[in-house]
Amino acid sequence: TSCPDIFACGDCIETVDLLTGRPTLCMLWPCAKAQAEAAARNCLGDKTVYPGALKLISEEVFGRPCIAAGLLEEELGGGEGLDIIEKETENTCHRLLIQNGRIMGVQAVGSVEGIGTLISFMKNKIPAPEISRMFNSPMLREKMPWMLALNDYLPMGTGEGN
């Protein structure tokens, strides 16, 4: 709140979107939990700043893992500066939204391997060209085999997302 010794969290507050910096309501459990932790730390005298909301939904539907993180195409204003990378197989569907060189949203159905890495890239605002550079580096791929999971999201050697 704007009052120095009053703290609030959860569905009753407006916060900022971690990716856009714009005011938002995030009525999701992960947001409320992180806000509650920041409020509790501040109540205990540990000056903590809540960095902003990153929308995250994870669920299993008909036995398939599903996850959505960040923003949707509609929230990003449609086509202006928006690149959409989609990969679909018989059992999986992956969608990556890149706007102005940054990952702004990711959705996955059927396989969520590697999604944590993409969420970390989003939270840390790592530019897509830097991600592509890392992804296409043979040395890094050898030392970090977890990067192979990103194959579902970033087409190898295509330069997409630059």
Tens of pLDDT along the chain (162 residues) come to 677 778 888 888 899 999 999 999 988 888 899 999 999 999 999 999 889 999 999 999 999 999 999 998 888 886 678 888 888 888 888 888 888 888 899 999 998 887 888 899 899 999 888 887 777 777 766 666 556 556 655 654 434 443
Contacts 24+ apart (CB under 8 A), 4-10: 7/38, 7/39, 7/42, 7/43, 8/39, 9/35, 9/36, 9/38, 9/39, 10/35, 10/36
Q: What's the pLDDT at 150?
A: 63
Please give the Cα distance from 71 to 54 (Å, whole number): 8
Closest C-alpha to 121, from 48, 19, 35: 19
**β-bridge partners, 82:** 99
Q: What's the pLDDT at 55?
A: 93
Determine the residue type at 42. Answer: N
Please give the Cα distance from 124 to 122 (Å, whole number): 5
Counting DSSP H helices and E strands in the chain, the numbers are 4, 7
Q: What's the pLDDT at 159?
A: 41
Token pair 């856009």 is at which residue? 20
Q: What's the pLDDT at 155?
A: 52
Confirm whether pTM is higher than 0.85.
no
In what order do the strands lie in the sheet containing 82-88?
A: 56-61, 64-70, 102-109, 93-99, 82-88
Q: What's the pLDDT at 157?
A: 41
Q: What's the pLDDT at 11?
A: 87
